[in-house]
Structure 1
Amino acid sequence: MSRQCKQIPIAIDQLVNTICGGWADETISSVAWRKRHEGKRWALLRKMIDSLFFWQENHCESAYQSEKNRLQCPPELRGES
């Protein structure tokens, strides 16, 4: 799958998250993991998302770690050479 084909769904996800009041550069999966202890709705959302991405182990946690490590950014913006 090309980089562009992967980036478009992520951009849509981030747009929906932003429309719902979240940070512009964070996915719903990442938010669900980050807020999983802030209420039953977030915990349920995390479980639902992880179920949708059944082929990826711990999808929401991985999305959160990716955001934290800025893996969605080009290498130049991650501090890598």
Structure 2
Amino acid sequence: MNRAIYILSRFGTDLVSLLSRAANAVLFNGSTAQTLSSRAYIDGRDSRFWRGMGKLINTLFFWQDDHIKAAWEAEVNRARYTLQRLEGLR
């Protein structure tokens, strides 16, 4: 992939993630460290509201098998990567 296309693609993805985190914090009193998708995956186990949100989000991302699960896994992997980097600073 051309570097310019990669940068634009990454910027777009990061921007959407930022907006999702802001919506989670401002509209749903959640954490800025969690997207709406990953919150729907986690909280959907115990909440009808978040289970419904998860279904809506998965419908919006119809080309992915299970977007909310993939979003949660991506956040977990990103956190693990950050923790590994911090361990290297000691």
| Fold shared, TM-score > 0.5 on shorter chain | yes
Tell me which structure has the larger Cα radius of gyration.
2
Q: Structure with the greater relative contact order (CA < 8 A, sep ≥ 6): 1 or 2?
A: 1
Instruction: Indicate the TM-score class for this superposition, using the shorter chain for normalisation.
Output: 0.7 to 0.9
1:79 Cα deviation from its structure 2 partner: 2.4
* Counterpart for residue 40 of structure 1: 48
CA RMSD of aligned residues (A): 2.1
* Counterpart for residue 65 of structure 1: 73
Deviations 1:43-71 (A, max 9, x none): 11111110110011100000011111117
Report runs of 4+ in structure 1 exceeding 3 Å deviation: none
**Match 2:24 to one of 17, 26, 32:** 17
Identity %: 26
Consecutive unaligned residues in structure 2, runs of 5 or more: none
Q: What SS does structure 1 have at the residue aligned with 2:78?
A: coil
Q: State the TM-score, normalizing by the size of structure 1.
A: 0.82
Find the aligned partners of 1:16 and 1:8 in 2 and give their Cα distance.
Answer: 12
1:38 Cα deviation from its structure 2 partner: 1.2
Matched, 1:4 2:7: no
1:32 Cα deviation from its structure 2 partner: 0.2
Give the counterpart letter for 2:56 in structure 1. M
